[in-house]
Amino acid sequence: MKLIQFISALIIIAMPAYAQEAPQETAPALTEAQKRTVDQLIDKALEDDRAYDILESLTTEIGPRLGGSEAEARARNWGVAKLRRLGFKNVRIETFDLPAWSRISESAEIVSPFPQPLAITALGQSPSTPAGGVSAEVVRFQTLPELQAAPIEGFEDKIIFVDEPMARTQDGSGYGAGVQKRVLAAVEAEKRGAAAALIRSAGTDSHRMPHTGGMVRGGATLGPAPAAALSNPDADQLARAMERADGPVTVRLDIQTEWRESAQSGNVIGEIPGETDELIVIGGHLDSWDNGTGAIDDGAGVAITVAAAKLVDELRGKPRRTIRVIMWGAEEVGLWGARAYAEQHADELDKHIIASESDFGAGEVWRFDTGFGPSAEGKVKPMADALRRLAIAPGFPVARGGPDVTPLREAGVPVATLYQSGTDYFDLHHTPDDTLDKVDPEKLKQNVAAWAAFIYMASEMDGDFGRLPVKGE
Amino acid sequence: MKLIQFISALIIIAMPAYAQEAPQETAPALTEAQKRTVDQLIDKALEDDRAYDILESLTTEIGPRLGGSEAEARARNWGVAKLRRLGFKNVRIETFDLPAWSRISESAEIVSPFPQPLAITALGQSPSTPAGGVSAEVVRFQTLPELQAAPIEGFEDKIIFVDEPMARTQDGSGYGAGVQKRVLAAVEAEKRGAAAALIRSAGTDSHRMPHTGGMVRGGATLGPAPAAALSNPDADQLARAMERADGPVTVRLDIQTEWRESAQSGNVIGEIPGETDELIVIGGHLDSWDNGTGAIDDGAGVAITVAAAKLVDELRGKPRRTIRVIMWGAEEVGLWGARAYAEQHADELDKHIIASESDFGAGEVWRFDTGFGPSAEGKVKPMADALRRLAIAPGFPVARGGPDVTPLREAGVPVATLYQSGTDYFDLHHTPDDTLDKVDPEKLKQNVAAWAAFIYMASEMDGDFGRLPVKGE
């Protein structure tokens, strides 16, 4: 169950339904004055470099901030100080507990017949190998389905290598299979009594930067096996070594990790109070993997949404609805912040009229997807029209809204996705290369403009965004 | 002296002299039949994938092969087997001894005020820090000259950070200043009693791949200080941290390295015997830095020159002159193979009529530079004309010929440089990313074609290439 939840939360999918013609509106969903304000917000945003400054501050002054770590706690204090300095109201940390995983050391090498080091990284939540590592013959599978279809017997004490490559696409749709491989390879390995699992990184680059990312935590009885990702060039190398070797290829893998059963994380929250207590929830996640500095994943999302909310705050008068910005905690390690928030705010979920997270890097927004209730379909077109000058196309009438709003969406809260270009995202995602220099300041401004326009419209439009079906009902 | 020699050997410079009009020739330097053979060689080379196969074999089956290491010894055995299988004659290893440096471990982090790890690599020949590392305040210099001009006093026990960036150029001319920074920062640090030196990598990429490379070995009395390179993004990060910090920035640097006073290396030599004992010496260096697999530096040079010589071997009849292919040993760690060869072959240097090394990656050859004696100037134009169909431009009448032919050139042996495009070379050079996937097989073939044409012409043309002035005479 947890596994499925985890996968479904992380997989970014393009839903198969296409936009229907919107029903006729009797009154315009945006007034002319509101349209002018949207344009002014966009103009201001395209000149405003506060998002980049926020991102530079977070990635430089905090750097990596793994969910549940001391660094993530420093990031929360940073977030509180930043929001207060910008004039957000009701700034607070809402804490929650979680078991916290961390990496101690990791190394791998081909032992024979072609001895040489391999660049690997342990997958998040991987258990340790025995001290000193395991040395074993490697068995290669071209894909995860090939491994899943393999017999249970015959792989005892082997190292299972899943060599499946990931497709580069603008919408990130290659990541679905990548996550499945990352999450399930170790489970399949454990089922077969293998010593460990190695996967080709779920990433699209050709640098020796293995991509980490969550797998699944083992229970007391069944694994998963220890698991690590090879960089793409190292996966190439291992596959070539197996082709060129006359006999078995032996690899030594040494991963040392640890769990603290009770650690703390938290969501950092700040608000632009509106005339009503209806809530627009936006944000990005504050935690990052431990190897980069979390610039594109997801410092950018934090910076974009904070800067966008601030621009709306600087308009004359209060927004109609309250804009709540959340810097979500412990996303990467299992959506802990998202689930804690939904629990902690269960009694006010009906006030959440729309929610969205920016968590797909710092590429330009190119598509506007919506997950509104049927009664609000007429709002899609005027919103999409207002975003068109930013080269944002109308998108699907089905959206996920971002990983951290999953529990809200499943509770019926409408969502939207300002879909960013992900063509290069998986070159950097979950690697040491997720650093500030990879962010284009102009694209960041385009994001801020799109978000400012979106939250302003969401705040001011008459009527709500309907409700989505509640999951399981 | 050693320092200067080391720098001069590594710096690639574009000499300031321009081509003079060649004196009138009375007879053509290439016959029509020879021109046809050149064209046939080029045609064959552009269809021949043996260079890529050799490169794949070396980088996969051996991988990294630091000068003086056990891996380099395996590479020599690989080289002997490869040359024999290809039918080269007089295949042998000519060994020599050297003191061998190696890396044990390396790490760095900002300790305060913004604790986080930094991606660094120890520079080759760096001494160790004290066990457990040194923690010290960082002092930043924008350039090496700025450090050189700084007072001797006032930097005791500090970490000196030289943040000079490197320019990207097609001819690699940005590397000169890069090498000076890499070699001299630690010397300047030691003079000032600093705890260590950190440099911005001598590299042009924006990945978290620090670039290693040789510095200078300390004597018994004066350092250098321990020294490491930060990746470009980490140098950015450290500079930003210093800007954003209210007080000093403290870094901990821990480099553990070791020296074996007597280790073995060797040059691997094979020949295509000619009708005469006049020698054309070509090759690439077999050793590589320990972090990548030495694909562009310099497996490519080995593969290109072996494949080119083999194509000439496959012509009907013997070449007029003997083609000697050398896989040079221990280049990166101080041109040990080059110096050993010049000493071991001192009594036959007059038979060396021309020498050249391929050691600038796997980019396409775009320029043909020559360092011929004055009597042979007339040969430049016909050779350049024959290379034109490969989009190779006539170049400078001054060439260095490659690092490992430096001692030959200084002893009077003429040289030529088939100058490769280096625009991207310093993205990968001396990093873990120097791997096979970075090599374009089509560009490799263009190199083989250029080299096959060059050595064929050098072998068959009437008359020699003159002599260069002997250094120091």
Higher pLDDT, A70 or B23: A70
Which CATH topology does B2-99+262-460 take?
Aminopeptidase (3.40.630)
C-alpha distances in Å from residue A318, one per residue of A89, A275, B424: 12, 6, 53
Strands B279-285 and B352-357, sheet pairing? parallel
So what's the pLDDT on residue A9?
42
In chain A, where are the structural domains located? 2-99+262-460, 102-257
Distance of alpha carbon A71 from alpha carbon A68, whole angstroms? 8
Would you say residue B180 has pLDDT above 60?
A: yes
Mean pLDDT of B150-164: 98
Distance of alpha carbon B401 from alpha carbon B451, whole angstroms? 13
Å between B126 CA and nearest CA of chain A:
21
Token pair 């053979």 is found at B37
Å between B453 CA and nearest CA of chain A:
32
Structural tokens at position A268: 């950092």
Please give the sequence-ordered ranges of beta strands (E in DSSP) within B115-249, or none if there are none. 116-118, 120-122, 134-141, 159-162, 196-200, 227-230
Q: Which of A59, A233, A293 sits opposite B435 (nearest CB)?
A: A233
Å between A389 CA and nearest CA of chain B:
32
Q: How do residues A41-76 score in pLDDT, each as one tens digit? A: 999 999 999 999 999 999 999 999 999 999 999 999
Q: 3-state DSSP call for residue A137?
A: strand
Q: B92: pLDDT confidence band, cut at 50, 70 and 90?
A: very high
Å between A239 CA and nearest CA of chain B:
10
So what's the pLDDT on residue B231?
98
Å between B439 CA and nearest CA of chain A:
12
Residue of chain A whose Cα is closest to the Cα of B241: A60
Mutation target for B interface from A112, A116, A240, A424: give the one with most B CBs within 10 A: A116
Q: Which residues of A touch B (CB under 8 A)?
A: 56-57, 59-64, 71, 110, 113-117, 119, 206-209, 232-233, 236-237, 240-241, 244, 292-293, 432-433, 435-438
Residue of chain A whose Cα is closest to the Cα of B231: A433
The DSSP call for residue A174 is: T
Directed axis angle between helix A300-313 and helix A50-61, to 10°? 140
Q: Establish whether domains B2-99+262-460 and B103-258 are of one fold.
A: no
Q: B27: pLDDT confidence band, cut at 50, 70 and 90?
A: low
Å between B363 CA and nearest CA of chain A:
17
Q: Which of A60, A236, A292 sits opposite B240 (nearest CB)?
A: A60
Taking contacts as CB-CB distances below 8 angstroms, the residues of chain A near B113 are: 61
Å between A31 CA and nearest CA of chain B:
44
C-alpha distances in Å from residue A252, one per residue of A125, A128, A174, A200, B389: 20, 13, 30, 16, 49
Q: Which of A64, A114, A437 sits opposite B61 (nearest CB)?
A: A114
Question: Could A433 and B60 be called an inter-chain contact, meaning their C-beta atoms sit closer than 8 Å?
Answer: no
Q: Which of B60, B233, B438 sits opposite A240 (nearest CB)?
A: B60
Please give the distance of CA B372 from its chain centroid, rounded to a whole number: 22
So what's the pLDDT on residue B5?
42
Amino acid at B259: W
Structural tokens at position B152: 């001797």
Element (H, E) at A428: helix A425-428
Question: How many residue contacts between A and B have a Cβ separation below 8 Å?
Answer: 95
Distance of alpha carbon B200 from alpha carbon B221, whole angstroms? 27
* Domain B103-258 bears CATH identifier 3.50.30.30: yes
Taking contacts as CB-CB distances below 8 angstroms, the residues of chain A near B424 are: none
Give percent above pLDDT 90 in chain A: 91
Nearest to B25 by CA among B375, B451, B472, B312: B375
Distance of alpha carbon A346 from alpha carbon A353, whole angstroms? 14
C-alpha distances in Å from residue A316, one per residue of A91, A306, A312, A313, A335: 22, 18, 9, 8, 36
Amino acid at B270: G
Mean pLDDT of B149-174: 96
Residue of chain A whose Cα is closest to the Cα of B70: A115
DSSP B257-306: EEEEEEEEEEEEEEEE--SSS-EEEEEEE----SSS--IIIIIHHHHHHH
Q: 3-state DSSP call for residue B159?
A: strand
Q: How do residues A122-169 score in pLDDT, each as one tens digit? A: 999 999 999 999 999 999 999 999 999 999 999 999 999 999 999 999
Distance of alpha carbon B420 from alpha carbon B170, whole angstroms? 8
Q: A26: pLDDT confidence band, cut at 50, 70 and 90?
A: low
Nearest to A3 by CA among A233, A215, A311: A215
Q: How do residues B295-318 score in pLDDT, each as one tens digit? A: 999 999 999 999 999 999 999 999
Q: Which of A59, A116, A432 sits opposite B63 (nearest CB)?
A: A116
Nearest to B236 by CA among B213, B255, B210, B212: B210
Which architecture does CATH list for A102-257? 3-Layer(bba) Sandwich (3.50)
Element (H, E) at B82: helix B70-85
Question: Could B432 and A57 be called an inter-chain contact, meaning their C-beta atoms sit closer than 8 Å?
Answer: no
Q: How do residues A327-386 score in pLDDT, each as one tens digit? A: 999 999 999 999 999 999 999 999 999 999 999 999 999 999 999 999 999 999 999 999
Amino acid at B460: E
Å between B203 CA and nearest CA of chain A:
15
Can you list the alpha helix ranges (DSSP code H) found in B143-224? Answer: 144-148, 175-191
C-alpha distances in Å from residue A413, one per residue of A176, A354, A356, A371, A378: 24, 6, 10, 9, 17
Strands A89-112 and A116-118, sheet pairing? antiparallel
Nearest to B380 by CA among B354, B360, B406: B354
Torsion from C-alpha of B200, B205, B207, B212, nearest 10 degrees: -50
Backbone torsions φ then ψ of B435, nearest 5 degrees? -135, 165
* Residue A361 CA neighbour count, 13 Å, CB half: 26
Q: Which of B64, B114, B437 sits opposite A236 (nearest CB)?
A: B437
So what's the pLDDT on residue A216?
78
So what's the pLDDT on residue A217?
73
Would you say residue A24 has pLDDT above 60?
A: no
So what's the pLDDT on residue B26?
56
Would you say residue B9 has pLDDT above 80?
A: no
DSSP A99-119: EEEEEEEEEEEEEESS-EEE-
Question: Could B115 and A236 be called an inter-chain contact, meaning their C-beta atoms sit closer than 8 Å?
Answer: no
For chain A, the straight-line distance linking the first and the last C-alpha, in angstroms and rounded, comes to 17
Would you say residue A113 has pLDDT above 70?
A: yes
So what's the pLDDT on residue A473?
80
Residue of chain B whose Cα is closest to the Cα of A206: B437
* Residue B136 CA neighbour count, 13 Å, CB half: 23
Contact B459, B319 (CB under 8 A): yes
Distance of alpha carbon B152 from alpha carbon B141, whole angstroms? 14
Q: Which residues of B touch A (CB under 8 A)?
A: 56-57, 59-64, 71, 110, 113-117, 119, 206-209, 232-233, 236-237, 240-241, 244, 292-293, 432-433, 435-438
Question: Could A432 and B71 be called an inter-chain contact, meaning their C-beta atoms sit closer than 8 Å?
Answer: no
Element (H, E) at B20: none
Distance of alpha carbon A419 from alpha carbon A391, whole angstroms? 12
Å between B116 CA and nearest CA of chain A:
6
Please give the distance of CA B437 from its chain centroid, rounded to a whole number: 19
C-alpha distances in Å from residue B424, one per residue of A102, B156, B163, B167, B170: 36, 38, 21, 11, 8
**Dihedral of alpha carbons A403, A406, A407, A409, sign:** positive
Residue of chain B whose Cα is closest to the Cα of A241: B60
Q: A27: pLDDT confidence band, cut at 50, 70 and 90?
A: low
So what's the pLDDT on residue B217?
72
Question: Could B63 and A435 be called an inter-chain contact, meaning their C-beta atoms sit closer than 8 Å?
Answer: no
Q: Average model confidence (pLDDT) for chain B?
A: 93
Residue of chain B whose Cα is closest to the Cα of A231: B433
Nearest to B262 by CA among B188, B336, B160: B336
Question: Could A116 and B71 be called an inter-chain contact, meaning their C-beta atoms sit closer than 8 Å?
Answer: yes
Count of C-beta atoms within a 10 Å radius of residue A342: 21
Q: Average model confidence (pLDDT) for chain A?
A: 93
Give percent above pLDDT 70 in chain A: 93
Taking contacts as CB-CB distances below 8 angstroms, the residues of chain A near B62 are: 114, 116
Structural tokens at position A303: 């910076």
Q: 3-state DSSP call for residue A83?
A: helix
DSSP A230-282: E-HHHHHHHHHHHHH-SS--EEEEEEEEEEEEEEEEEEEEEEE--SSS-EEEE
Would you say residue B75 has pLDDT above 60?
A: yes
Would you say residue B25 has pLDDT above 60?
A: no
Backbone torsions φ then ψ of B324, nearest 5 degrees? -105, 120
So what's the pLDDT on residue B222?
61
So what's the pLDDT on residue B221?
54
Contact A193, A228 (CB under 8 A): no
Nearest to B249 by CA among B158, B339, B328, B340: B158
**Dihedral of alpha carbons B209, B214, B218, B224, sign:** negative
Mean pLDDT of A312-328: 97
Q: How do residues A219-272 score in pLDDT, each as one tens digit? A: 545 678 999 999 999 999 999 999 999 999 999 999 999 999 999 999 999 999
Count of C-beta atoms within a 10 Å radius of residue A395: 23
Backbone torsions φ then ψ of A318, nearest 5 degrees? -75, 150
Taking contacts as CB-CB distances below 8 angstroms, the residues of chain B near A119 are: 432
User: ω before B298 within 30° of 0 (cis)?
Assistant: yes
Å between B431 CA and nearest CA of chain A:
9
Question: Could A236 and B436 be called an inter-chain contact, meaning their C-beta atoms sit closer than 8 Å?
Answer: yes
